[in-house]
């Protein structure tokens, strides 16, 4: 068995859940101790390896987070907002690192996470890849360098099963652009265009969402002015980049002081 922290993966049957499980099982720095699914799911009570279409691995899929978290040093969680906030309370009780890739969290959800982070490490990011976090930094810097003569538009594309829009990554990029300009994203965000909407308001940060096929994730940040456009782009072709980032976050969080962190902290890219 691999050494290192024991990790629980929530939402084990999902695309990201299965990728996370494979990534952890392949790592010599951590080991998988439990796989969690919602009550009533077909996988509950099955051997995880068999459920994933392979050989038995001795881990039985469970719907009991309390028991699983009590044995864990980290939880990796790409599920839904309601599940994530409930998991955060239990992870805090267990003093386990909670790595959150869930998107669509609202203000009340974030308040719950902040309370949980008083007792345990939470690493939360709209995207866990190195490339996207570099893109976030570049977006902030370019937005700071250009004035409102440059319209900012964030265009994102994902597979047809994604349920939230704009994506968590798009919103992360929007926040970076707003920070670069020294404005609030809430005050400048333009997310809905249908019908006679009038001309674009100067200084707004626009969002466009595309859904189709099996697109893993594509994000463009466009700065458009009269006569020129600057486009920053990231394309993910394999979910493994997110799983590797999540595992890196789970390892990084071991021994840290309780609090809220993001992937810029994990990657040592946080600007003071």
Catalytic residues: 158, 162
Q: How far is it, in rounded angstroms, from Cα 176 to Cα 24?
A: 30
* DSSP 8-state secondary structure symbol assigned to residue 150: S
CA 183 to CA 262: how far, in whole Å? 21
* Contact in structure between 97 and 248 (CB atoms under 8 Å): no
- Which single residue is written with the structure tokens 């670069």? 180
Q: How many helices (H) and strands (E) does the chain have?
A: 10, 11
Q: Which residues contact 120 (CB under 8 A, 6 or more apart)?
A: 91, 92, 94, 95, 96, 97, 98, 258
The pair phi, psi for residue 75, each rounded to 5°, is -125, 130
């Amino acid at each position: 068995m691999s050494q290192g922290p024991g990790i629980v993966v929530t939402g084990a049957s999902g695309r990201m859940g299965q990728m996370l499980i494979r990534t952890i099982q392949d790592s010599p720095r951590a080991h998988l101790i439990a796989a969690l699914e919602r009550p009533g799911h077909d996988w509950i009570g099955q051997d995880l390896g068999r459920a994933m279409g392979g050989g038995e691995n001795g881990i039985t899929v469970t719907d009991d987070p309390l028991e699983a978290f009590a044995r864990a040093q980290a939880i990796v969680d790409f599920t839904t907002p309601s599940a994530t906030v409930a998991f955060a309370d239990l992870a805090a009780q267990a003093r386990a690192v909670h790595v959150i890739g869930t998107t669509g969290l609202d203000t009340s959800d974030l308040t719950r996470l902040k309370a949980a982070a008083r007792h345990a490490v939470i690493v939360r990011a709209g995207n866990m890849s190195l490339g996207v976090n570099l893109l976030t930094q570049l977006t902030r810097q370019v937005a700071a360098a250009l004035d409102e003569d440059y319209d900012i538009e964030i265009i994102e594309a994902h597979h047809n099963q994604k349920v939230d829009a704009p994506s968590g990554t798009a919103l992360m990029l929007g926040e970076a652009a707003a920070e670069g300009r020294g404005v609030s994203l809430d005050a400048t965000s333009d997310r809905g265009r249908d019908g006679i909407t009038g001309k674009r308001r100067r200084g707004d940060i626009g969002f466009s969402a595309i859904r189709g096929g099996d697109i893993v994730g594509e994000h463009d940040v466009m700065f458009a002015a009269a006569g020129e456009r600057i486009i920053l782009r990231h394309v993910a072709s394999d979910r493994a980049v997110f799983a590797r980032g999540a595992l890196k976050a789970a390892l990084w969080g071991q021994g840290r002081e309780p609090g809220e962190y993001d992937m810029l902290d994990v990657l040592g890219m946080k600007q003071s």
